[in-house]
Every structure is written in structure tokens, then in C-alpha cells.
A = this chain, B = another copy of it.
Amino acid sequence: MRRACTVAVDAMGGDRAPGEIVAGALKAADELGVGVLLVGRPDAIRPFLPTGGPPQGVEVVAADEVISMHDDPAASVRTKKDSSLARAAEAVSDGRAQAMVGAGNTGATMASALLRWGRIKGVARPGIAVPIPVPGSHPQILIDGGATVDCDPEWLCQFARMGSEYARARFGISAPTIGLLSNGEEAGKGDDLRKRAHQLISALPGFVGNVEGSDLMAARPDVVVTDGFTGNVALKTLEGALRQVAGLVFGVLESNPAAKEAGTVVAPLLLDAAAQLDPEATGGAVLLGVRGVCVISHGSSSARAIVNAIKVAADCVHADIVGRIANAASGAVSGVGTDAG
């Protein structure tokens, strides 16, 4: 079978690596018809492969070093030339793969892609487009989820363009709505960065104005623009709140015999509802603005999350997200303005 594209997967990254990563990669190769390069220490990967060796479409690419969650991102990528992340990024720049997926050290995953591939011409800083699950709708895109913590107003405007293009390419939204995350809806609200960014972003089609934290996980706007610091805080706040409430709700269902009885009916329905909010199902965040497709999956990724991350990677390749961002950055596409180059 001819593989539509090949995805290099960091087999060593993530809390459950390499077992769950390898399992997910094998499943993706089988179910999605994509090629997979499993990058990492062969002796660590091998136990999780079928006894006959890697199945069709799967190849092990040796990399003897590992970047841990606690390594300094930029330094480790520079010094550990034979790390699984460096080799995965290299596989893409060599043309052996068209995308990479990592569930390990987020900073190092970004740094390896950025260092090896460079930025798209006209893009000042990369941004992570994070899908936020929305019950009954396509995900909302938050950009930046943590790539660039200190931002200039112009960069936020570029995140808006990239996020909008991404929403268009991945979810087929013809005219994505864009909101600037702020501390109030009125145009005058915000810190200095927001006030200056507001003026720039308000020239973009689809801009609906400032939005607030309570507009996250909602069907509108399609794209929420913020700096990487605030984006990370907001995403983790959301994640923590959902976890806390889930604990409270399932605690209630264990609190007495009558509740337990009722729980046999209600718990499966609640789990179904909760599945709509499961980040594992949305498939990982994408680093936009670099010259390649880099998908960042959650550190706790299971095999299922890896399958979905590989699917996102393949979708981005098919949608030519890099080419589209390049066009958007140079102002050539979709009427998203002309002042970004």
C-alpha cells in the first residue's frame, strides 16, 4: 500500500513513552494508512513491536539520546544532536517524513522544529495552535498556547492570521471569527499589549473584538488570540477546573448507596458527555509558523492520543498548512491583509 505521507514520531517523549507511543504509532500506520518513523533508542522501542519486527509502513530510526521533561529546551536540542527529537526533525528536513509528532518536553519539541526547519518567511515568531474542545461543535483554536511568552502587538496580529488560516484549512470554516483574549469586551480593555494589538487585529476580517476567559470552550469565536504566557495559564486553568469538577461529580456518585445506584445509570452518560471535552480526542496542538508540520501532544498521551496526533499531522500535510500559512504571512491569501510580510 502506498502511504499518503510519513510522520516521524518521537518514541521517547511523554510520560508513557515508549510503550503507549509505539502502540499509537502502530495503530495509526494500520488504521490511517500513513507511514510512521519511530524515532528513538531501538532497544527501548523493540519490546513494544510485534515479534516479527515493525509491520509494513513502520520503520525504526535510531537516536541514542533522550531529552527529558526537565532538560532545558534550547540547550538540550543544541547539545543532544543524536536525540530522538533532533532526529525526528531531521527526518522531516531530509524529506524522509512530512511531519513530526512529539509528546515529550514541549519546549524542546518546538526548539528542534524551529532550529532544524526555521521560520516561514514573514513570520516573526511561531505560535502553538491549541484545539479547545467545544461540546457539539468543532474545536476552538487558541493561539498562542505557549510558544512565545513575551509578545509584540504585531506578533499577536500574526497569530490571528495564522490561527484563522489554520481554522480554515483544518475545519473548513470559510470565514473564521477571531477574538482577542482580554480582561473585558470593550475595545478599551486590556493591558498595554492588548490595546496596541487590538488596533492591528481589528483590521482583519472576522475580528469580533475582545473576548474574555469565559468565552473559552465556546462555539464563538473560532480563534482566540493571546500571548503564549496568558494562553498557557488559561489552558491549564481550564484543564484544572475540568479535572476538579469531574472529581466532585464522581465523588457525589459514590457518596451514598442511593447515589451509587443512580450512578449506574448516570455515570456512563456523564462519561459520554465528558468525552466531548477530552483533549486526547482533539489530537494535539500544532506549531504554526515553522517550515514543517510539528504536532505537540499532551505529556500524558495514551496510544489513542498518539493516533489522533498523527492524524492531525497527516491532515496538516494534506491541507498544505505550511504553504497556506506562508501565503497568509505574505498577505497573499484569503483577504487577510497585506502588512505581515
Asked if A208 CB lies within 8 Å of chain B CBs, one says no
A183 touches B213 (CB 8 A): no
B228 touches A252 (CB 8 A): no
Q: A227 → chain B, closest Cβ, in Å?
A: 7
B234 touches A213 (CB 8 A): yes
Residues of B within 8 A of A256 (CB): 269
Nearest residue in B to A258 (C-beta to C-beta)?
A: B265
Residue of B186, B217, B248, B253 touching A244 (CB-CB under 8 A) = B217
Contact A149-B190, Cβ < 8 Å, known A248-B135, A258-B265, A265-B262: yes
Asked if A232 CB lies within 8 Å of chain B CBs, one says yes
- Bound complex: CA A183 to CA B242 (Å): 18
Nearest residue in B to A271 (C-beta to C-beta)?
A: B252
Asked if A1 CB lies within 8 Å of chain B CBs, one says no
Within 8 A of B (CB), among A217-268: 217-218, 226-230, 232-246, 248-249, 251-253, 255-256, 258-259, 261-263, 265-266
- Bound complex: CA A232 to CA B182 (Å): 8
Contact A213-B235, Cβ < 8 Å, known A146-B183, A192-B150, A252-B269: yes
How often does this chain occur in the complex, in copies? 2
Residue of B233, B263, B265 touching A233 (CB-CB under 8 A) = B233
A232 touches B214 (CB 8 A): no
Asked if A270 CB lies within 8 Å of chain B CBs, one says yes
- Bound complex: CA A230 to CA B191 (Å): 9
B265 touches A227 (CB 8 A): no
A233 touches B248 (CB 8 A): no
A237 touches B266 (CB 8 A): no
- Bound complex: CA A229 to CA B263 (Å): 41
Asked if A216 CB lies within 8 Å of chain B CBs, one says yes
- Bound complex: CA A184 to CA B326 (Å): 31
Nearest residue in B to A249 (C-beta to C-beta)?
A: B249
Nearest residue in B to A186 (C-beta to C-beta)?
A: B70
Could you give, for residues 176-199 of chain A, a 1 whenever the CB lies within 8 Å of some chain B CB and a 0 otherwise? Answer: 000001111010101110100000
Interface residues of A (CB under 8 A from B): 70, 72, 135, 146, 149-150, 181-184, 186, 188, 190-192, 194, 212-218, 226-230, 232-246, 248-249, 251-253, 255-256, 258-259, 261-263, 265-266, 269-270, 273-274, 276-277
Q: A217-B244, A241-B242, A262-B263 are in contact. List 15 more A-B contacts (CB 8 A).
A: A182-B229, A183-B232, A191-B227, A212-B240, A213-B234, A213-B237, A213-B239, A216-B237, A218-B244, A237-B238, A237-B241, A241-B241, A241-B245, A253-B266, A262-B266
Would you give 6 A-B contacts (Cβ < 8 Å), ordered by A? A183-B233, A213-B235, A241-B242, A242-B245, A262-B263, A262-B265
